[in-house]
Amino acid sequence: MTVKAEDVRYEGAAGASMEGRLFRDDQSPDPRPGVLVFPEGFGISEHTYNAAERIAGLGYVAMACDLYGGGYFHNGPSPETQRRVSAIMAKPKGLLAIGNAAYNHLRSLACVDPDRIAAIGYCLGATVAMELAFSGAPIRAVAGFHPSFTGSTLADAEQTLGHLHLFVGAEDYAAPPQARAEFEQALAGKGVRWRMTVYGSVKHSFTNPNCAGMGDKVAYDAEADQHSFEAMRALFAQALSAPA
């Protein structure tokens, strides 16, 4: 299998020009399951592209998705990035609008089976993926890596149609024990099929080998990265294998 990449543009909220990248085996003649890949709050980056390429290597069509428009990325925290995050959070369903724009584009592609779509996300991107699932969109599975639990519309979670698996570092400042407990309590009794894997001694951004130099609150962890990827692989193999 040879995975090829193609830059794509799609329309975001309020006509924003979103710049993503599609990864797929273009030798396959049949529509394939699609996977949305939402980045960390820093924006679309090599980390996003690498994740999408790995997923495409499993036989899916994977799209690295833009968060802010124009392919914005800044390696590490910055006032401009925080301004953009705040602007999204200030809008009702702002995160959902980002997810919907990417979802509608991916499912419209001839190479994608529109009935077999999953989503993954990192940090803020994990929240985008969860918002998409909570909205009742026919997402078969969601994998969220080092999610922040900020901005989730948990009251709508009962509309989730697919499986949800979150991967969290026990020492993640963005997902402390209280936040994880509140998330569990909010989903209790809603019939959502979910699980959470917590990695001891692991911090935020544990999947991103490029996070060095961003401060002592984040750290790459190769073991947690590999384990969570394999768990995601198993989740997608089950959820995306059969037609709807």
Per domain, the residue ranges of the chain are 4-239
Concatenated DSSP letters of 137-202: ---SEEEEES----S--GGGGGG--SEEEEEEETT-TTS-HHHHHHHHHHHTTTT--EEEEEETT-
Assign 10 to helix, strand or coil.
strand
Q: Over its length of 244 residues, how does the chain's per-residue pLDDT go in tens digits?
A: 789 999 999 999 878 999 999 999 988 778 999 999 999 999 999 999 999 999 999 999 999 999 999 999 998 889 999 999 999 999 989 999 999 999 999 999 999 999 999 999 999 999 999 999 999 999 999 999 999 887 788 888 999 999 999 999 999 999 999 999 999 999 999 999 999 999 999 999 999 999 887 889 999 999 999 999 999 999 999 999 866 5
Is this structure's pTM higher than 0.75?
yes
The angle subtended at Cα 46 by Cα 96 and Cα 78, nearest 5°, is 65
Q: Provide the 10 A C-beta neighbour count for residue 138.
A: 14
What CATH number belongs to 4-239? 3.40.50.1820
How far are the Cα atoms of 26, 106, 167, 240 from residue 149, in angstroms, in the given order? 36, 25, 12, 26
The 8-class DSSP code of residue 14 comes to G
Nearest to 164 by CA among 184, 185, 181, 182: 184
Q: Provide the 10 A C-beta neighbour count for residue 34.
A: 28
Residues 6+ apart with CB under 8 A from 180: 149, 168, 196, 198
Cα 226 to Cα 31: distance, rounded to the nearest angstrom: 28
